[in-house]
């Protein structure tokens, strides 16, 4: 089966083609318009999706070397995400399905982040635990089957990606700051400035206290030395990144013990972080885990993950009807 997939939940317009579960193309148009605002502006995101969607789909079809009439189904992100952004992808998918008389398949964006692990080998075996860390979510997911997933831990406030992005803002770095903190952290000492680890019960997370302590720390240091950030950017980034990552890994250890599961995956935009990837590899040796880390292009938002999720739903004949509407908030 040939699946066309559309992702438009936030600020990436993406289209992918997958044939019998093999990815043939994955085109991602990132919207630069938000940079000068220091965050995604929903109204501008919707307009950019509207401009990008047709060219991105055409590029995905061309790159896959197929014909539009070869497509057997169209999968799209129904939610969660920005409603105006989701509406663009949803409307396109519906129109395409209707015009070509093919089935429509709805996909949950957060399930798709997890299912990105089924694009390439090695693929995890069920059940496994997946830490999904992105711009809007921080979840530990117990994955029993493709569409049988349970969130066993999540954040009470900010997401891990938000912690990266808000810290970057405090440090005067442009949006999205996660990748920049990663870059500076590589040259810094992670133990230079110890930030406190929050004590949150169970498998849940909290990052807002950390954000506040970083804010006060930077404010106090700058008062004493106006050049503090200029001279210590690498160490500050390395220390913040180290704390965020250790919070994540410590909760994963707790989850692994609690469920007796040693197959551990990471997913979502923050799984692109080089420090987290390295610490997961260390954890694999230390705790005897089988660790699954997605290829970079499948960490941040992309339509390939929607395509693979859509493919498994298509095989189950799990189709959506033409009156389906996107959802800003959406459970599994």
**Structural contact between residues 264 and 122, judged by C-beta atoms closer than 8 angstroms:** no
Where do contacts with Mg ion occur on this chain (CB under 5 A)?
10-11
Say if residue 178 carries a ligand binding annotation.
yes
Identity of the residue, 39 or 198, whose beta carbon is nearer to Mg ion in the bound complex: 39
User: Does 182 carry a binding-site annotation?
Assistant: yes
Using the minimum distance from each CB to ligand ATP, give the nearer residue, 61 or 299: 299
For residue 51, is the peptide bond before it cis, meaning its omega torsion is within 30 degrees of 0?
Answer: no
User: Does 7 interact with Fe ion (rule: CB under 5 A)?
Assistant: no
Residue, CB closest to ligand ATP: 269
Smaller CB distance to ligand ATP: residue 105 or 110? 110
Residue 273 annotated as binding site: yes
**326 is in the binding site of which of ligand ATP, Fe ion, Mg ion, none (Cβ under 5 to 8 A by kind)?**
none
- 318 annotated as ligand-binding: no
To the question of whether residue 113 is assigned a binding role by annotation, the answer is yes
The region, left, alpha or beta by phi > 0 then psi within -120 to 50, assigned to residue 222 is: alpha
| In the complex, least distance from residue 93 CB atom to ligand ATP, rounded to whole angstroms | 18
CA-CA-CA-CA dihedral for 151, 156, 157, 161, to nearest 10: -40
Residue 278 burial by CB count (10 A; 0-12/13-18/19+): exposed, middle or buried? exposed
Backbone CA torsion sign across 94, 96, 97, 100: positive
Select the binding partner of residue 161 from ligand ATP, Mg ion, Fe ion, none (C-beta < 5 to 8 A, by kind): ligand ATP
Compute the least distance from the CB of residue 90 to Mg ion, in Å: 18
Helix (H, G, I), strand (E, B) or coil at 62: helix
Instruction: Please report the sign of the dihedral spanned by the C-alpha atoms of residue 153, residue 154, residue 156, residue 162.
Output: positive
Angstrom CA distances, 100 to 70, 93, 103, 182, stand at 10, 11, 9, 44
Residue 9 is classified by DSSP as: S
137 labeled binding residue = no
Q: Is 77 annotated as a binding residue?
A: no
Query: For residues 123-142, which are near Fe ion according to CB under 5 A?
Result: 134
Find the helix packing angle between 228-259 and 160-170, rounded to 10°.
Answer: 170
Chain residues binding ligand ATP by CB under 6 A are 9-10, 81, 109, 134-137, 161, 164-165, 176-179, 182, 268-270, 272-273, 300-301
Q: Could you list the residues that contact Fe ion (CB under 5 A)? A: 134, 301
**Annotated binding site for substrate: which residue ranges?**
132-136, 165, 178, 182, 273
**Annotated binding site: which residue ranges?**
109, 113, 132-136, 165, 178, 182, 273, 301
**Annotated binding site for Fe cation: which residue ranges?**
109, 113, 301
């Amino acid at each position: 089966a040939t699946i066309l997939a559309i992702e438009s939940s936030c600020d990436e317009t993406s289209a992918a083609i997958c044939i019998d579960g093999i990815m043939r193309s994955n085109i991602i148009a990132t919207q630069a318009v938000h940079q000068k605002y220091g965050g995604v502006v929903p109204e501008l995101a919707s307009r950019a999706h509207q401009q990008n969607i047709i060219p991105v789909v055409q590029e995905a079809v061309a790159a896959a070397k197929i014909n539009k009439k070869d497509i057997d189904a169209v999968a799209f992100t129904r939610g969660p995400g920005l409603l105006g952004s989701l509406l663009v992808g949803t409307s396109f998918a519906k129109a395409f399905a209707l015009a070509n008389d093919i089935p429509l398949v709805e996909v949950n964006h957060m399930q798709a982040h997890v299912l990105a692990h089924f694009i390439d080998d090695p693929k995890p075996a069920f059940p496994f635990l997946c830490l999904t860390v992105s711009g809007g979510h921080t979840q530990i997911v117990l994955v029993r089957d493709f569409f049988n997933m349970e969130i066993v831990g999540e954040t009470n406030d900010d997401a891990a990606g938000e912690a990266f992005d808000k810290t970057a803002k405090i440090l005067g770095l442009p949006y999205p700051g996660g990748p920049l903190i990663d870059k500076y952290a590589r040259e810094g000492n992670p133990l230079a400035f110890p930030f406190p680890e929050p004590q949150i019960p169970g498998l849940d997370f909290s990052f807002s206290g950390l954000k506040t302590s970083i804010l006060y720390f930077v404010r106090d240091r700058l008062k004493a030395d106006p050049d503090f950030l200029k001279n210590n950017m690498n160490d500050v980034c390395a220390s913040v990144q180290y704390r965020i990552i250790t919070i994540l890994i410590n909760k994963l250890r707790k989850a692994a013990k609690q469920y007796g599961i040693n197959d551990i995956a990471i997913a979502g935009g923050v799984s692109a972080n080089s420090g987290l990837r390295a610490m997961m590899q260390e954890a694999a040796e230390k705790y005897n885990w089988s660790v699954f880390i997605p290829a970079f292009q499948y960490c941040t938002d992309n339509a390939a993950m929607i395509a693979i999720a859509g493919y498994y739903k298509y095989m189950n004949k799990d189709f959506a009807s033409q009156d389906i509407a996107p959802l800003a908030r959406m459970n599994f």
